[in-house]
Homo-oligomer: A and B are copies of this chain.
Amino acid sequence: MSAGKARFFLQAKWTGARSKMSRQQQTFLGNGPEMKVSIGKLELKNPVMLASGTCGYGPELADVLDLTNIGAIVVKGISMEPRAGNPPPRIAETPCGLLNAIGLENVGVEAFISSKLPWLHERNITTIVNILGNSVGEYQALAARLNKCPGIHALEVNISCPNVKEGGVAFGTDPEQAAKVAGAVVQACDLPVIVKLSPNVSDICSIARAVEDAGASAVSLINTILGMAIDIQKKTPVLGNVFGGLSGPAIKPVALRMVWQAARCVDIPVIGVGGITSASDALEFFMAGACAVQVGTATLVDPGAAGRVLQGIVDFMQENHYQSLKELRIGP
């Protein structure tokens, strides 16, 4: 589906819905609900993104999803050097969920810039680069390297990878460490910096506040919840890495709760991620206080999921007379 066609599709749907309304309402609604969202100085055309690690670098999805129609793509986490990732098996299915232990396999920042980014840039796809370092210095170096690369619109800092730690503590579970990483990245680049939070913490607010204070433009949450599965016939953990990250519908209630909490303790935008498979899931996140959402595991199951989520949000807002995403939010 080309960009033009996709827009026409949205347009057509709206026209249909609108024709059921009175003339007065039509005038009032103008061109339908406002879907634009700002994350720092970046303006997204709509609030539905593809979550890191579930959409490759873009081309893998192009046959089945129009990426120009999506708010943004967050590409697979990038490190300075290429990484091979964890030994297989890397995935296991759980009740309404998926465990993964990919181990942040990626092509490394140089190959990303030279061989992956151009494809996205040529197509004008809003691109957010998820970055991952072994140390504060590596995060900083990544930010510096990606800064001013044409075609990159924001960075998402993955401090929530359970397998990467400094001083024995994962960056994402200690407010001080989290703030250090966030601050270093903010210093090193002019791009909006989104910090992606880990759910494996006692108190999500202390982390969210710490990275806000360190200058982050937004937080996104949640990353996967640490879990595992055992093959009782083989009497061994299913995953080569023993532990993996749980994602998918199973974790939605936890993600929603954390987004609700974060949205009530920071002033920067909160991006909701975790188990979103339908427009109604996404709407729960907007009501909880998210300004945008990311679709992750759902894309793996259903590569067109993000498009349907977006369309469903527009339909719901239209039917229920919401003019802007902000109006969806419950309470303060």
A residues near B (Cβ < 8 Å) are 94-97, 99, 173-174, 200-203, 225-230, 232, 235-237, 242-244, 246, 248-254, 256-257, 260, 275, 280, 283-284, 287-288, 316, 328, 330
Q: CA–CA, A97 to B249, complex, Å?
A: 10
- Across the A-B interface, the 6 shortest Cβ-Cβ residue pairs: A227-B253, A95-B249, A250-B250, A96-B96, A95-B96, A230-B284
Asked whether A254 and B246 contact (CB < 8 A) given A96-B97, A230-B330, the answer is yes
29 examples of A-B residue contacts, CB within 8 angstroms? A94-B252, A95-B96, A95-B248, A95-B249, A95-B275, A96-B97, A96-B249, A97-B253, A173-B202, A173-B203, A200-B202, A201-B201, A201-B202, A225-B253, A226-B254, A226-B257, A227-B253, A228-B256, A228-B288, A229-B284, A230-B283, A230-B330, A232-B284, A232-B287, A232-B316, A235-B330, A242-B260, A243-B257, A249-B250
Q: Which residues of chain B come closer than 8 Å to A97, judged between CB atoms?
A: 96, 250, 253
Q: Are A228 and B202 in contact (CB under 8 A)?
A: no
Q: Name 15 extra pairs, CB < 8 A, besides A229-B256, A249-B250.
A: A94-B249, A94-B253, A95-B250, A96-B96, A173-B203, A226-B254, A227-B253, A227-B254, A228-B253, A232-B287, A235-B328, A242-B260, A246-B253, A250-B250, A250-B253
Residue numbers in B under 8 Å from A174 (CB-CB): 202
A236 touches B330 (CB 8 A): yes
- In angstroms, Cα B204 to Cα A123, docked, is 46
Residues of chain B lying within 8 A (CB to CB) of residue A96:
95-97, 249-250
Closest B residue to A174 by CB, please name it. Answer: B202
Q: A244 to chain B: which residues have CB within 8 Å?
A: 253
Which residues of chain B are near A99, meaning CB under 8 Å? 253
Chain B residues closer than 8 Å to A249, beta-carbon distance: 94-96, 250
What's the Cα separation between A97 and B97 when bound, in Å?
11
Q: Which of A250, A280, A330 has the most chain B CB atoms closer than 10 A to its own CB?
A: A250
Complex Cα distance, B224 from A173, in Å, reads 20
Bound Cα distance from A248 to B252, whole angstroms: 14
Q: What's the least CB distance linking A198 to chain B, in Å?
A: 9
User: Whose C-beta in chain B lies nearest to the C-beta of A248?
Assistant: B95
Give complex CA distance A53, B82 in Å: 49
CB-nearest residue of chain B to A251: B250
How far does the alpha carbon of A193 sit from the alpha carbon of B200 in the complex, in Å? 27
What distance in Å separates the Cβ of A66 from its nearest Cβ neighbour in chain B?
26
Return chain B residues, CB-CB under 8 Å to A250: 95-97, 249-251, 253
